[in-house]
A and B are shown apart, each in its own frame.
Chain A
Amino acid sequence: MDLSVLVFLSAGLFLGWSLGANDAANVFGTAVGTRMVRFGLAATVCSIFVILGAVFSGAGAAHTLGRLGAVDTLAGAGMAAFSAALTVYWMIKLGLSVSTSQAIVGAIVGWNLFSDKPTDLEALLKIVATWVICPLAAAFFAVILFLVVGKLVDLARLHIFRLDAYTRLGLILAGALGSYSLGANNIANVMGVFVGSNPFTGFSFGDHVGFSAIQQLFLLGAIAIAVGVFTYSKRVMMTIGTRLFPLSPLAAWVAVVAHSIVLILFASEGLERILASNGLPTIPLVPVSSSQAVVGAVIGIGLWKGAHGIQWRVLGSIAIGWVTTPIAAGVVCFISLFFLQNVFNQEVFEEHRYSINTLVVEKLEDLGADSPGVRALVGRRFKNWTTLRETLQSTPGYDPSTEAVIHEVAKVEPVTITLGKLYRLDRSYYTPEQIAALWSLAGDHFFHRWRFEDTLAHDALAWRDPPDTPENQPAIRRLQEQREAAFRLFKDRLQD
């Protein structure tokens, strides 16, 4: 294995470690803080289920490479991971519950700024909106659940010890499930970028039991998360469980379950499918922070109980942490990328070329983004985005609101369908029709990514988006992921 891969892999492992140190508190913090579950037991259960989630349910996410997949070189991805991890570590050292996903988003924006890539403002605003909505929603669900559970407990008239046993079991179960989804959902952020340069090889026991190379890579990442849980999560757990608001054991369980409900509501494709198939309005699927959800739930219960026990100073510093984290991660990433590029001569982002030809103009027309300014540039090539943008801005009749679309359509990303790569297609991930469509393009070469995708959609129904209706959203997303994975496989210059 290349030494640089090892170096950047360690950055991913550092992110895994800080994820374990921070996010384990979201699922077990209230349980440990209320002394219902011993830290050793919580850390053991959390580690086992994080590993199971990462190895058995995380592999699906590998195809999308997670959110860090947007970063297109290994050095850039490694540094983005390192910046996010460093920020999280710094916040944990201050005893704050920080949002790992916020740190990652901040680092990616830092990379975008450094590489002069346009940031999708709509997507960014959507994510930022969830930073407000998520804690509020968690607080709301926590209060509702608290009332319902309180009523049920009154009716059940359980002995204090029996109630204690049920609560204990409930906390461990909720924590185990939370840990499983923590591993499944976050492993792509930790290890996804290293899938292309995976040093492991798959093996199998008999016909049915196999251990793929990706699973081995994810096991490594999950072990890093587990180490983080064991070595550094106790402090954050105590912040969530005791310092913010003194919770009763039952309230501790309510907080964990309310946090899980919010995560499921905003992240479950299954729920979206059920709602859509019953003609009900769907909830937009957006990435939400589990740290914010659990803090929101604890504060919700605290407010319901009269707000007397809430430690406003602790809450204030957590809220400041939420604002500081993405900014700090972005700044750290930007500065680190500068050093990595200029001192260590690493390629931290792919320098794309841009070309405007008649096909590009036709595509822009289809997308409603053509303008006389763009048409005037037909036949010209640009060595980078900055040059193209400056040229566009100086061209009369150019509409700046079309910038992001022009960036994507004019970007040169050569794709060649080689036999070697066709044999590497994951047959369990694509349908036979999709694979047949890719094989029918054997030997073809595409200059732009969208040409490759449009050709596939034109040739095969299996690569075509279904109508944009709420019930089709999961299928549309799945197809987007498959297109992304196919593009990454066949593009001429792999990120690593």
Chain B
Amino acid sequence: MALQLFKRTKKLEIKVDEILDTVSESAMVFEQAIECYMSEGVSDRFQHRLDQVVDLEARGDDLGLEVELEMYHETLIPDVRGDVLSLLESLDSIINSFKGVLFYFSTETPDIPENLRSEYRELAKLSAASVETLILATRAFFRDVKSVNDHLHKVHYYEKDADLLVTKLRREIFQTDLPLANKIHLRFFAERIVWISDMAEAVADKLTIYAIKRTI
């Protein structure tokens, strides 16, 4: 019985690690996809990155469901089960946002002026960095709860940077001679990208509470 329990535990550990891997990988692919779009528009490479994120999102969904079912079925970690499930769901919605933003790029193909592209790239980089750091904090939550905060403060740092950058970008967009419809369109994309770092920050806030709950 004990052997079976540890086998099951090991499998679950691997699955949770895989979920975190999919989120982290999505962040990297998202950053690459934005880079592609900025340099090539909706090219085959961009489409390939988008497909990768779609696959990662599907894989994350499947794994999340498996972990959720197993945790309920085996009544595992009863004291923090709710927190862990809510955390995994939040991470899943971050992948959804990556996918959503890339779909917007793919379907609406915004015409981004050359001089603003580097800022869009930087914005995507900051959002991806905040998510990757959030994943480091989440890994720590599962293994070494005391070091969660070491990572979380970086998430806040990236989010703040992204906020500053998006404000600057908005100003620059509305200072251009583009028609208002284009300006609003460009602003929409900037806000969609920065929204991912906002989501990462919101999950980081939750994680702070969960970590405190685990240590007391």
User: A residues within 8 Å of B by Cβ?
Assistant: 34-36, 38, 154, 157-162, 164-165, 168-169, 248-249, 305
Contacts and interface: CB of A to CB of B under 8 A. Distances in A.
Contacts of A160: 77, 80, 84, 141-143
B209 interface: no
Interface string B125-156: 00000000000000001111010000000000
Interface of B: 2, 5-6, 8-10, 12-13, 16, 75-80, 84, 141-144, 146, 216
Given A159-B9, A165-B9, A169-B5, 6 more contacts: A161-B9, A161-B13, A161-B16, A165-B6, A165-B8, A169-B2
Contacts of B76: 161, 164
B5 A165 contact: yes
Contacts of B77: 160-161, 164, 249
A194 B144 CA distance: 56
Contacts of B143: 157-160
Nearest to A150: B215
Q: Secondary structure of the B side of the interface?
A: helix
A249 B78 contact: yes
Nearest to B80: A160
Contact of B78 (A36, A157, A159, A165): A36
B144 A34 contact: no
A362 to B, nearest CB: 65
30 contacts: A34-B78, A34-B79, A35-B75, A36-B75, A157-B143, A157-B144, A159-B13, A159-B142, A160-B77, A160-B84, A160-B141, A160-B142, A160-B143, A161-B9, A161-B12, A161-B13, A161-B76, A161-B142, A162-B9, A162-B10, A164-B9, A164-B76, A164-B77, A165-B5, A165-B6, A165-B9, A169-B2, A169-B5, A249-B77, A249-B79
Contacts of B84: 160
Contacts of A248: 79
Contacts of B10: 162
A202 to B, nearest CB: 34
A249 B78 CA distance: 8
A248 B215 CA distance: 10
A169 B216 CA distance: 22
A234 to B, nearest CB: 16
A48 to B, nearest CB: 13
A463 to B, nearest CB: 48
A34 B75 CA distance: 11
A168 B9 CA distance: 12
B82 to A, nearest CB: 12
A248 B77 CA distance: 10
A162 B9 CA distance: 6
Point out which of A34, A157, A159 has the most chain B C-beta atoms below 10 A from its C-beta: A159
Nearest to B11: A161
A159 B10 CA distance: 9
B147 to A, nearest CB: 9
A304 to B, nearest CB: 10
A36 B8 CA distance: 16
Identify the 10 closest CB pairs spanning chains A and B, nearest first.
Answer: A35-B78, A165-B9, A157-B144, A161-B9, A164-B77, A160-B142, A159-B13, A161-B12, A165-B5, A161-B13
